[in-house]
Amino acid sequence: MPQESAGLVEWCCVWPFFATSLCCKDRKKIVIVLLGLDSSGKSTLLAKLRKEKFTSVLPTCGFSCKKWKIQDFAVYVFDLGGRKGFRGIWPHYFAEAYGAIFVLDSNDKARFSEAKEELQNAVSNTYLVGKPVLVVANKQGPGSAMRFDDIKFSLRPLEAAHNLAECKCNLQEGDAALDGDFQEGLQWLLETIQLQYKELRDRVDKDSSAQRARESRQRSERRERIKLMKIHLSKAEAPCPVEDLLSELESVKEVVDYEFHQSTTSLLLPGQIVV
């Protein structure tokens, strides 16, 4: 009996990997990052895209991944938490992304420039620049604070002056919580990715392995620095400056957070991300 349970446990652990490889057979695997300020409606939109029944969602803590099949694609959407404290994690996922969806909250006039700045930062990032981006003006329900045309107009300078023009970008309006239909936008994103799939895949492969190598190097350098710091402290010679300790702890915290996300991801994307 204990042996049988062990077998079941083993099978349960292996199953996600088995299922992913089985489902993804012959399908093009693509990763899309879902970005936007907190409460802009990313998770609600994701539920809508997956045609799931709308239920109220909690704020995303860090990261969540959803996978489903659309036409020839096995689509993985990385729904990244939009709270300020989580935004530093976003760029870690850009290298493996084939495209992005950026959600703007049409009701949040007060934070619109903050959202635009985050959009600009994202599309200028080395790992995202030039990739297809769907910008969604969400919460376009009755009486929304900003009209779609005004949003479109206010994104123009960003498009003209910066990298939004370099990305293949499309803007769609809708209301994720009401009857908004974002399938058209998703379809545009998938078709655009399809048109340059090989090019994007080569870039993703190259950038992801470079990123993994760099992060692993940074991790070992950090470990080395911590080791030296411990030796330094144990000898209690000249005290270590408090600023050095704090900045080291800060970077360790970031790595721990990121590694936690990565380990969650590696369960879902075997072969794509190596911890």
Ligand X SMILES: Nc1nc2c(ncn2[C@@H]2O[C@H](COP(=O)(O)OP(=O)(O)OP(=O)(O)O)[C@@H](O)[C@H]2O)c(=O)[nH]1
Interface with ligand X (CB under 6 A): 36, 38-44, 56-57, 59-60, 81-83, 138-139, 141, 175-177
> Closest distance between ligand X and the C-beta of residue 106, in Å?
8
Distances in whole angstroms, Cα of residue 65 to Cα of each of 219, 269, 272: 25, 10, 14
Q: Is 39 annotated as a binding residue?
A: yes
Contact 42, 34 (CB under 8 A): yes
> Closest distance between ligand X and the C-beta of residue 33, in Å?
13
Q: Is 168 annotated as a binding residue?
A: no
Q: Is 62 annotated as a binding residue?
A: no
- Give me the helix-helix angle, 2-23 and 242-268, nearest 10°: 90
x-marked contacts with Mg ion along 57-96 as a string, rule CB under 5 A: ---x------------------------------------
Q: Is 126 annotated as a binding residue?
A: no
Q: Is 43 annotated as a binding residue?
A: yes
Site for Mg ion contains 43 (CB under 5 A): yes
> Whose Cβ is closer to ligand X: residue 55's or residue 234's?
55
Label residue 104 exposed, middle or buried (CB < 10 Å: 0-12, 13-18, 19+): buried
- Bridge-partner residues for 33, per DSSP? 78, 100
Residues numbered 45-64 forming contacts with Mg ion, rule: CB under 5 A: 60
> Closest distance between Mg ion and the C-beta of residue 39, in Å?
8
When CB distances are held under 5 to 8 angstroms depending on the partner's kind, the choice from ligand X, Mg ion, none that residue 36 binds is ligand X
Residue 222: both structure tokens together: 């950090």
Q: Is 41 annotated as a binding residue?
A: yes
Residue 210 makes CB contacts below 8 A (sequence gap 6+) with 95
Site for Mg ion contains 140 (CB under 5 A): no
- Bridge-partner residues for 30, per DSSP? 75
> Closest distance between ligand X and the C-beta of residue 138, in Å?
5
> Whose Cβ is closer to ligand X: residue 96's or residue 108's?
108
Q: Is 253 annotated as a binding residue?
A: no
> Closest distance between ligand X and the C-beta of residue 132, in Å?
20
* Pairing between β-strand 63-70 and β-strand 28-36 as defined by DSSP bridges: unpaired
Contact 155, 195 (CB under 8 A): no
Contact 93, 125 (CB under 8 A): no
Site for Mg ion contains 163 (CB under 5 A): no
Site for Mg ion contains 211 (CB under 5 A): no
> Closest distance between ligand X and the C-beta of residue 139, in Å?
4
Residue 129: both structure tokens together: 């620049």
Residue 20 makes CB contacts below 8 A (sequence gap 6+) with 67, 268, 269, 270
**Residues annotated in the binding site for Mg(2+), as ranges?**
43, 60
* Annotated binding-site ranges: 36-43, 60, 82
